[in-house]
């Protein structure tokens, strides 16, 4: 298909592509929130038990996403020639509440294949561009298959007013040289235009599990280059687990408790409080078995065991842990003896490596966003930021004692500097700056440290001259007349 040539053509083209994939993204979102419908269950059973037993939804999809997202914390940006993080980029980060918003972006990307970061002009503060994180349910960006850059992006928002029963529809089109705002009134009408002339679309996708080829497609026909959800491989297992858990609840209602039987009573003799006949299944749910023969006596069947459901859920949990790289104790598999610290670190090795991979992929998107921010500030691209790198918090979970011991040994061996040691211990750049100021104040108050520092700055005193020796080896001493 030819690339659209007008703004409205771009709006319609991006809207069609977005609408085609929204059902899949909404399905992933429901699985994360635990509101997905129950599968593998016969509709007749659901119809009979829905008034007494709610479907049991096990939040494994949420656990899988949160376990990775909790290890993705941005702590700053710097270039290789900078000793500390870039203060101005971090100021913009904090001003736009990206500490919180970045977590939402990572969460959406892990769940729904990707999220987006937009940069725009800030009319209230020109030195602080506006940076927002957008949901894939509201935004779609077209990526050039050759340059891998965004050619255009569209964000659509519907504002609902329940009291007035009206909906306001808005759209924002992002292009390399301008950003256009629309409002729907039977057709899209332009409200405002920002001629930024960047030369690039100020939208950066946060893509999860991107692929290099456009030919690889998922079950719904969407290109995998636009990302893949972390939930895709575990949804069938999650559905099976939910079905087993719900079956276990039904079994506990029907057969886990003793079933009593009465002779000489037929189902027609059983009615509800309103005099309506109840079904045989409703009678069983009442734990009563009726037999029309009048010769028998009352009897009772023992309750059934639910171990088969527990074993099935245990097997499904192990498969989910293997696919998602989760430690067994994350899914409730605890041994009789508590695991050691080394054992926990070993069990989390795959999860840590997976989080580090996400840091590298998402870090590139945040670095591009930082370059666009500087472009908005200075009006030109900063070549130094081509080597920009994102500072991430350590994705592993070592104990404080282990981390401190390893860092101190590296510092004592002069492998790392004091500042690097503090960074390795997890202190933020502002905290380290305060520590360095405190170090200077402490050195000024400590006289011993002050003397030592002064001696180190002085030129060493030369050794005293030794008198020359006479031929016999004794030093020559000037004789003073008596």
Residue range 138-162, pLDDT digits in tens: 999 999 888 889 999 999 998 877 6
Tell me what the mean pLDDT of segment 307-331 comes to: 89
- Is residue 56's pLDDT more than 80? yes
Q: What is the pLDDT of residue 32?
A: 96
On whether the CB atoms of residues 38 and 55 are closer than 8 A, the answer is yes
The Cα–Cα gap between 307 and 321 comes to 21
Phi, psi of 98 (to 5 degrees): -80, -10
| Exposure class string for 294-326: b at 16+ Cβ within 10 A, else e | eeeeeeeeeeeeeeebeebbeebbeebbeebbb
Environment class of residue 451 by beta-carbon count within 10 Å: exposed (0-12), middle (13-18) or buried (19+)?
Answer: exposed
Q: What is the pLDDT of residue 261?
A: 60
End-to-end CA distance of the chain: 117
Q: Where are the beta strands (DSSP E) in 109-241?
A: 114-120, 130-134, 139-143, 150-161, 166-174, 179-184, 188-194, 203-207
Task: Give 395's contacts (C-beta < 8 A, 6+ positions apart).
Answer: 71, 72, 352, 355, 356, 359
* Weakest mean pLDDT among 98-102, 151-155, 312-316, 424-428: 424-428
Closest CA to 391 of 64, 89, 67: 89
Q: Please state, in angstroms and as integers, the Cα–Cα distance from residue 212 to each residue in 55, 104, 112, 225, 435, following that order.
A: 40, 25, 19, 6, 45
Tell me what the mean pLDDT of segment 451-456 comes to: 55
More confident residue, 55 or 476: 55
* Weakest mean pLDDT among 41-55, 230-244, 422-436: 41-55
Q: What is the pLDDT of residue 287?
A: 47
On whether the CB atoms of residues 396 and 402 are closer than 8 A, the answer is no
Tell me what the mean pLDDT of segment 179-194 comes to: 92
Q: Taken in order 242, 243, 244, 246, is the CA torsion positive or negative?
A: positive
Q: What is the pLDDT of residue 266?
A: 65
More confident residue, 130 or 302: 130
| Model confidence, pTM | 0.75
- Is residue 285's pLDDT more than 70? no
Tell me what the mean pLDDT of segment 185-198 comes to: 90
* Beta-carbon-side half-sphere exposure of residue 129 (alpha carbons within 13 Å): 23
Average pLDDT, the chain: 81
Q: pLDDT > 70: what percent of the chain?
A: 73
Q: pLDDT > 90: what percent of the chain?
A: 42
The Cα–Cα gap between 218 and 347 comes to 31
- Is residue 211's pLDDT more than 60? yes
* Weakest mean pLDDT among 44-48, 93-97, 201-205: 44-48
Q: With both helix axes pointing from N to C terminus, report the angle between 235-254 and 307-324 in degrees, rounded to the nearest 10.
A: 170
Q: What is the dihedral of CA 349, 354, 355, 359, to 10 degrees?
A: 130
* Weakest mean pLDDT among 16-25, 92-101, 269-278: 269-278
The CA-CA-CA angle for residues 317, 320, 323, to 5°, reads: 150
The Cα–Cα gap between 324 and 230 comes to 8
The Cα–Cα gap between 387 and 140 comes to 28
Q: With both helix axes pointing from N to C terminus, report the angle between 235-254 and 60-69 in degrees, rounded to the nearest 10.
A: 140
On whether the CB atoms of residues 365 and 114 are closer than 8 A, the answer is no
- Is residue 215's pLDDT more than 50? no
Q: What is the pLDDT of residue 104?
A: 96
Closest CA to 102 of 134, 141, 125, 142: 134
Cross-strand partners of 298: none
* Weakest mean pLDDT among 27-31, 363-367, 371-375, 460-464: 460-464
Closest CA to 319 of 244, 220, 210: 244
- Is residue 5's pLDDT more than 80? yes
- Is residue 231's pLDDT more than 90? yes
* Beta-carbon-side half-sphere exposure of residue 206 (alpha carbons within 13 Å): 29
Tell me what the mean pLDDT of segment 53-73 comes to: 91
More confident residue, 102 or 414: 102
| Local structure of 340: helix, strand or coil | coil
- Is residue 190's pLDDT more than 90? yes
* Confidence grade of residue 223 (pLDDT, cut at 50, 70, 90): very low
Q: What is the pLDDT of residue 475?
A: 53
Task: Give 186's contacts (C-beta < 8 A, 6+ positions apart).
Answer: none
């Amino acid at each position: 298909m030819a690339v659209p040539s007008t703004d409205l053509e771009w709006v319609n083209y991006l809207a069609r592509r977005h609408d085609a994939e929204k059902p899949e993204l909404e399905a992933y979102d429901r699985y994360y929130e635990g509101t997905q419908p129950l599968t593998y269950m016969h509709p007749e059973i659901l119809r009979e038990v829905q008034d007494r037993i709610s479907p049991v939804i096990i939040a494994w999809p949420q656990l899988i996403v949160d376990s990775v997202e909790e290890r993705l914390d941005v702590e700053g940006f710097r270039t290789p020639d900078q000793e500390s993080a870039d203060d101005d980029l971090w100021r913009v980060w904090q001003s736009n509440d990206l500490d919180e918003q970045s977590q939402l972006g990572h969460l959406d990307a892990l769940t729904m294949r990707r999220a987006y970061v937009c940069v725009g002009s800030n009319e209230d503060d020109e030195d602080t561009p506006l940076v927002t994180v957008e949901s894939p349910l509201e935004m779609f960006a077209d990526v050039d298959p050759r340059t891998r850059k965004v050619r255009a992006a569209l964000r659509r928002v519907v504002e609902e007013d329940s009291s007035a029963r009206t909906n306001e529809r808005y759209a924002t089109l992002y292009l390399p040289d301008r950003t256009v705002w629309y409002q729907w009134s039977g057709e899209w009408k332009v409200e405002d235009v920002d001629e930024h002339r960047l030369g690039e679309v100020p939208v950066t996708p946060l893509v999860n599990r991107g692929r290099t080829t456009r030919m690889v497609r998922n079950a719904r026909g969407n290109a995998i280059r636009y990302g893949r959800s972390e939930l895709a491989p575990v949804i069938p297992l999650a559905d099976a687990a939910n079905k087993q858990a719900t079956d276990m609840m039904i079994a506990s209602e029907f057969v886990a408790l003793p079933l009593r039987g009465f002779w000489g009573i037929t189902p027609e003799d059983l009615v509800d409080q309103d005099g309506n006949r109840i079904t045989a299944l409703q009678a069983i749910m009442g734990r009563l078995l009726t037999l029309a023969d009048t010769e028998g006596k009352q009897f009772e069947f023992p309750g059934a065991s639910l171990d088969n459901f527990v074993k099935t859920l245990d097997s499904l949990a192990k498969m989910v842990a293997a696919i998602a790289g989760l430690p067994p104790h994350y899914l409730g598999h605890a041994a009789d003896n508590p695991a050691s610290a080394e054992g926990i670190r070993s069990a989390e090795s795959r999860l840590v490596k997976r989080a580090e991979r996400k840091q590298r992929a998402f870090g590139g998107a945040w670095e591009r966003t930082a370059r666009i921010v500087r472009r908005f500030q200075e009006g030109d691209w900063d070549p130094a930021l081509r080597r920009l790198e994102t500072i991430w918090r350590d994705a592993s979970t070592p104990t404080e004692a282990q981390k401190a011991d390893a860092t101190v040994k590296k510092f004592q061996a002069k492998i790392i500097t004091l500042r690097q040691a503090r960074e390795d211990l997890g202190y933020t750049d502002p905290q380290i700056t305060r520590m360095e100021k405190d170090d200077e104040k402490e050195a000024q108050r400590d006289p011993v440290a002050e003397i030592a520092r002064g001696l180190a700055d002085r030129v060493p005193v030369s050794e005293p001259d030794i008198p020359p020796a006479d031929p016999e080896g004794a030093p020559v001493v000037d004789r003073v007349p008596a």
